[in-house]
Structure 1
Amino acid sequence: MLRHLDIRDMLIIDRLELSFQPGLNVLTGETGAGKSILLDSLGFVLGWRGRAELVRAGAKQGEVIAVFDVPQGPVAEALILEAGIDVSDNELILRRINTADGRKTAWVNDRRVSGDVLRRLSELLIELHGQHDDRGLLNPRGHRVLLDTFGTLDGKLSKTRTAWKTLAATRKALAAAQAEQAALKSEEEFLRHAVGELDKIRPEAGEEAKLDAERRLMQSAEKISGDISKAHQAMSYDAAEGALTDALRWLEGAADKADGRLDAPIEGLNRTLNELADAQSGVEECMDALRFNPHELEGIEERLFAIRGLARKHNVLADDLGDFADDLRSKLKALDGGADDLFRLEQDLKDAETRYSTAADALTRARQSAAKELDSLMGAELAPLKMERAVFVTVVAPCDGGPDGQDAVSFTVATNPGAPAGPLNKIASGGELSRFLLALKVCLTRDQSGVTMIFDEIDRGVGGATADAVGRRLKALAADGQVLVVTHSPQVAALGAHHWRVAKRVEKDMTLSEVVPLVAQDRIDEIARMLSGDSITDPAREAAKALLNG
């Protein structure tokens, strides 16, 4: 609920403070007095897109402050929490500044916020309605949402959205699987041939280097084996080993008579013989390693060349051939098992389509039931507004399925019996449209509370008893909430619980707008002016009193 509005240096308003109350609040005044400026200023602080130039001529900046009760409900709580707004005082103080150079800055409870946060908050705080309001009831794109809200169809809508999400995901998975199968089919011949070649060889990581080293060793064996054999012969017992053994034997025989002088040489010869034995073992191992079958070298070379050939063919490193083969085998496995996967996904799709169809059909039936209820309520509302012969029909027509179901919803009217029904904003005249919108709003807000509703000259084009009927519906609508009405109708103004007059004044050659709260006698004069014009007559005052007394 809107509690307070403070406007400074906006358009032709220099300073204006208004305190609003629950119930029906009416604003009256001559055309051009500045009533629309109030709405422009309120729209500015709520983040609505409006006039580009709002700052009063000569001022450095314009400012609007609006104080609201904190809206209730999970959506409001989530938004307030997301924006980091402190609501410990149970009120929202919206403040927005517009500098002369066009910069805009906004706060909510002293928390800096973006224009987007303001607009999202505004949807929870204010509803603006008028003959040309394409943001609200006249916009056919929003009729389905309005019907769902009226019918409290959140549960069925949620099930439909969940089913649609599953259906869309399954369709996407099936399309991806089909595309993958098609791609694999196109390279099936290559896959089978390549996997066959790789399976025949089954290369291992590091194998190329190992084979190359073995090949090089075998190729050099013939060149070095002769020298190694000669060296082995030179170290044998018939050569170096035998001579050293004889020398050791001779020295040991003479050692007793050499007074220890041969101990060190004898020890050295023993070490030499031990090391010579180690050297002989190493040379023999080398000779064993160099002994190979020529066919073995041929086999190593064939495998080495085969591995390198496959690496070049597939443009991968030889050590990566094993992983490459695994990838190809995986693709081949996917290709061979693709039919089963596609069948499973097709079954999943059928199940998802069935679940979506079931949820969407239930939502359609619920919408059709809600549409009948809304049409019935509209019929009852139109009669007091002197439109008992008009017919309001909520059309629920099939459309392509989506997350919100398979229905297109539109509000249509026929203003006279036998006349064809058509869109609300194209069939009804100005006065009729005002009454249709009012009746529709009464029906749609039957269970809502806390939102401030603003009607901008919604009574335009009607008068007399019809205007009185419009006023009484507005009063009923405001009984449990707050309604602000900008009106030129004395019948509507007389039914307001709170009344303000908007007027212009000239101060130092500058035109300014002011808003004055009216007490009893002031209300009589204002309503009399609305009845008779600039010249207020006694009969007009008497008529005004009669209107105020009901």
Structure 2
Amino acid sequence: MLRRLTIRDFVIVDRLELDFLAGFGALTGETGAGKSILLDALGLALGGRADAGAVRVGRDKADIAAEFDLPADGGLTDWLAAQDLPADEGMAILRRVVEAGGRSRAWINGVPVTQAQLREAGDRLADIHGQHAHHALLRGDAQRALIDAHAAAEHLAKEVADRFRDWQRLVELRRAAEQDSAASERERALLAWQIDELRNLAFDAGEWAEINQEHARLAHAAGLMEGADEALATLGEGEGAVTSLLRHICVRVDAMADIDPGLGDLRELLSGAAIQADEALHALRRYRDRLDLDPQRLAEIERRIGAVTDLARKYRVDPEGLPDLLDEWVRKLDELVAQADPVHLAEQEAQAGAAYDQAASRLSAARRPAAERLSSEISEAMQTLAMAGGQFAVALEPCAPSAHGVETVEFRVAANPSQPLRPLAKVASGGELSRIGLAIQVMTSRDSATPTLIFDEVDVGIGGGVAEIVGKLLHRLGRERQVLCVTHLPQVAACADWQWNIAKSNRGDEVVSAVTPLEADGRIEEIARMLGGVNITDTTRRHAAEMLGVSPAL
């Protein structure tokens, strides 16, 4: 659940630190006082869209942080661990900063994250129902998504969409193979010829370095032999050879060191030099013995380099890239061969179609009981929402296979017993739509795994006894989840476990919003204000106290 919300310089909020409670909480206050602004700030912390208008006028940035208890199911804990965002003492802290220029940054548990990561974590922590959310229920895609969520079948819906795409791709390939066989044959023939050309070259990337090294040695063999001969003569095979001179010097210094021990270090240095010179002489002799002029091998290497270079230039790749090009062409030819066989493609198409049928059948099997259950729940709720005798139904009508399954999903309603069931979009009035939409939101919220549910003036368009029933629905929901509700209805607010008043005031040239937690007397006064407007009488206060089930302090 949401534990704390900290807001800095957001719209008309300068600084707020709010500690939230469990159960059903009502946020009330005059229109424009900033009730929905609090939820907008929370929406930003949950990964909502940001813009420069979120920043308080005259400030550099808005800063919002929301602290949540981790859900008990462990799903978010596992997700945070997978993202390398470990939770601290069972808490998740989501933070969002929006700069005056519109740029935003996000953190989870103090670690920078993307907006997508913030939104994914936010979706697991809280679910916000906006005041116009019921209008979305008029759209077929929203109705389908809702019933799939109610059926816990989102994964099945995704599988159906994926399998439909795979199936249709094979349908298109099979049709293309039937219609473009001549063009495909020419492409395959050209590709096969190119593959043979590279295979006949029998070239691999490792060979390129080897033949270039051998070519350099063969091409400069004469110079290498001349240099080796000169070095051998200087080191040990000519008059005044270095090795002979070093040995002579070593003998003289040895004799001198016997007389003067201070020459011991010099004797060791010269001795080591003589040994290294002898080793270099032997190594150079071995190198010279291997050197030989081989014009035939040089010509052979040059032809090989020329063949590799010509093909690399022809196909516009580096010589080292020729093996990878060959692999790519082989894969492409295999695909073209498979795509050029209508019979084989038809078999694959049939298999993909069967896989789609199976997935669509599982989705339909999940949707049917969910549709019946939701139809019954909403119809029952309508009886208490000033629509006695009304009926709600989720109609599943067969349709041609699509990415959404083999049936359409349509919400139908009859507001009273004398009317037939007709599409929700065509028959519901504004007030009826508000009531039905709220009932749907409350009922389907039970399916949500999110621990915090937020309703932003979703009770607009209702009043009287219906409002009291809505309040009781939210209170009942608050026994299972944390429920926050922005409301103007005293009947709804009176059902809350706790209540805050949001008010705005002038502070110099600035307008600021403040939040006041209400105790028993404060709640009576606020409910009375919601009931009676500007002039609050003792009668209004008694009525407010009665709604709250407490005794007024008059």
- Coarse TM-score class (shorter-chain normalised): 0.5 to 0.7
Q: 1:477: Cα distance to partner? A: 1.3
Q: How does 1:319-330 map to 2 (within 5 A)?
A: none
Secondary structure in structure 1 of the residue aligned to 2:505: strand
Q: Does 1:115 align with 2:82?
A: no
Instruction: Name the residue aligned to 2:504.
Output: 504
Q: How does 1:67-146 map to 2 (within 5 A)?
A: 67-71=67-71, 76=76, 79-81=79-81, 83-133=83-133, 137=137, 139-146=139-146
Please tell me the root mean square deviation across aligned C-alpha atoms, in Å: 3.5
Instruction: Name the residue aligned to 2:259.
Output: none
Q: 1:7: Cα distance to partner? A: 0.9
Matched AA of 2:477: L
Q: How does 1:166-315 map to 2 (within 5 A)?
A: 167-168=167-168, 170-171=170-171, 173-175=173-175, 177-178=177-178, 181-183=181-183
Q: 1:365: Cα distance to partner? A: 4.2
Instruction: Name the residue aligned to 2:7.
Output: 7
- For residues 74 and 509 of structure 1, the distance between their equivalents in structure 2, rounded to whole angstroms, comes to 48
Instruction: Name the residue aligned to 2:466.
Output: 466
Question: For each residue in 1:325-373, what CA deviation from the matched residue of structure 2 results, as whole angstroms up to 9, or x when unmatched?
Answer: xxxxx9xx99xx9999433432342343234224323432442332122
Matched AA of 1:503: A
Distance 1:29 1:362, change over 3 A: same
Distance 1:131 1:187, change over 3 A: closer
Q: Flag structure 2 segments of 5+ consecutive residues without an equivalent.
A: 194-199, 202-313, 316-329
Contact (CA 8 Å) 1:45, 1:64: kept in 2 or not? yes
- For residues 477 and 419 of structure 2, the distance between their equivalents in structure 1, rounded to whole angstroms, comes to 30
Q: 1:137: Cα distance to partner? A: 4.7
Q: Does 1:488 align with 2:488?
A: yes
Distance 1:482 1:135, change over 3 A: farther
Distance 1:339 1:148, change over 3 A: closer
Question: For each residue in 1:294-313, what CA deviation from the matched residue of structure 2 results, as whole angstroms up to 9, or x when unmatched?
Answer: xxxxxxxxxxxxxxxxxxxx
Question: For each residue in 1:210-243, what CA deviation from the matched residue of structure 2 results, as whole angstroms up to 9, or x when unmatched?
Answer: xxxxxxxxxxxxxxxxxxxxxxxxxxxxxxxxxx
- For residues 462 and 369 of structure 2, the distance between their equivalents in structure 1, rounded to whole angstroms, comes to 33
Instruction: Name the residue aligned to 2:380.
Output: 380
Distance 1:91 1:402, change over 3 A: farther
Matched AA of 1:381: A
Matched AA of 1:477: L
Which stretch of the first structure deviates more once superposed, 117-126 or 523-532? 117-126
Q: How does 1:349-360 map to 2 (within 5 A)?
A: 349-360=349-360
Contact (CA 8 Å) 2:85, 2:111: kept in 1 or not? yes
- For residues 535 and 67 of structure 1, the distance between their equivalents in structure 2, rounded to whole angstroms, comes to 39
Q: 1:126: Cα distance to partner? A: 2.0
- For residues 45 and 426 of structure 1, the distance between their equivalents in structure 2, rounded to whole angstroms, comes to 37
- For residues 146 and 387 of structure 2, the distance between their equivalents in structure 1, rounded to whole angstroms, comes to 22
Instruction: Name the residue aligned to 2:536.
Output: 536
Contact (CA 8 Å) 2:52, 2:98: kept in 1 or not? no
Secondary structure in structure 1 of the residue aligned to 2:98: strand
Question: For each residue in 1:373-421, what CA deviation from the matched residue of structure 2 results, as whole angstroms up to 9, or x when unmatched?
Answer: 2101211222222322322221323444344422332323332344465
Secondary structure in structure 1 of the residue aligned to 2:352: helix
- For residues 414 and 74 of structure 1, the distance between their equivalents in structure 2, rounded to whole angstroms, comes to 42
Which stretch of the first structure deviates more once superposed, 484-493 or 364-373? 364-373
Question: For each residue in 1:236-263, what CA deviation from the matched residue of structure 2 results, as whole angstroms up to 9, or x when unmatched?
Answer: xxxxxxxxxxxxxxxxxxxxxxxxxxxx
Q: How does 1:152-167 map to 2 (within 5 A)?
A: 152-153=152-153, 157=157, 160=160, 163-164=163-164, 167=167
Contact (CA 8 Å) 1:65, 1:93: kept in 2 or not? yes
- For residues 436 and 513 of structure 1, the distance between their equivalents in structure 2, rounded to whole angstroms, comes to 33
Instruction: Name the residue aligned to 2:311.
Output: none
Instruction: Name the residue aligned to 1:370.
Output: 370
Instruction: Name the residue aligned to 1:53.
Output: 53
Instruction: Name the residue aligned to 1:397.
Output: 397
Question: For each residue in 1:108-166, what CA deviation from the matched residue of structure 2 results, as whole angstroms up to 9, or x when unmatched?
Answer: 11111122222222222222223412796555323222212212335754664565365
Matched AA of 2:524: I
Matched AA of 1:342: P
Q: 1:50: Cα distance to partner? A: 5.8
Q: 1:515: Cα distance to partner? A: 0.7
Over alpha carbons, which structure has the higher Rg?
1
Q: Does 1:434 align with 2:431?
A: no
Q: 1:489: Cα distance to partner? A: 0.7
**Could you state the TM-score of these two structures normalised by the residue count of structure 2?**
0.66
Instruction: Name the residue aligned to 2:218.
Output: none
Distance 1:533 1:114, change over 3 A: same
Q: Where in structure 1 do 4 or more consecutive aligned residues deviate above 6 Å? A: 185-188, 337-340
Secondary structure in structure 2 of the residue aligned to 1:484: strand
Q: 1:465: Cα distance to partner? A: 1.0
Matched AA of 1:407: E
Contact (CA 8 Å) 1:131, 1:433: kept in 2 or not? no
Secondary structure in structure 1 of the residue aligned to 2:377: helix
Secondary structure in structure 2 of the residue aligned to 1:476: helix
Matched AA of 2:19: S
Question: For each residue in 1:21-50, what CA deviation from the matched residue of structure 2 results, as whole angstroms up to 9, or x when unmatched?
Answer: 121010111111111211221122222126
- For residues 398 and 52 of structure 1, the distance between their equivalents in structure 2, rounded to whole angstroms, comes to 47
Q: Flag structure 1 segments of 5+ consecutive residues without an equivalent.
A: 196-203, 206-314, 317-329
Distance 1:423 1:546, change over 3 A: same
- For residues 155 and 145 of structure 1, the distance between their equivalents in structure 2, rounded to whole angstroms, comes to 11
Instruction: Name the residue aligned to 1:322.
Output: none
Instruction: Name the residue aligned to 2:62.
Output: 62
Instruction: Name the residue aligned to 2:231.
Output: none
Contact (CA 8 Å) 1:29, 1:502: kept in 2 or not? yes
Contact (CA 8 Å) 1:449, 1:481: kept in 2 or not? no
Distance 1:366 1:93, change over 3 A: closer
Contact (CA 8 Å) 2:8, 2:63: kept in 1 or not? yes
Distance 1:422 1:83, change over 3 A: farther
Matched AA of 1:129: H
Instruction: Name the residue aligned to 1:295.
Output: none
- For residues 154 and 510 of structure 2, the distance between their equivalents in structure 1, rounded to whole angstroms, comes to 53
Secondary structure in structure 1 of the residue aligned to 2:53: coil
Contact (CA 8 Å) 2:131, 2:455: kept in 1 or not? no
Secondary structure in structure 1 of the residue aligned to 2:461: coil
- For residues 138 and 91 of structure 1, the distance between their equivalents in structure 2, rounded to whole angstroms, comes to 38
Secondary structure in structure 2 of the residue aligned to 1:53: helix
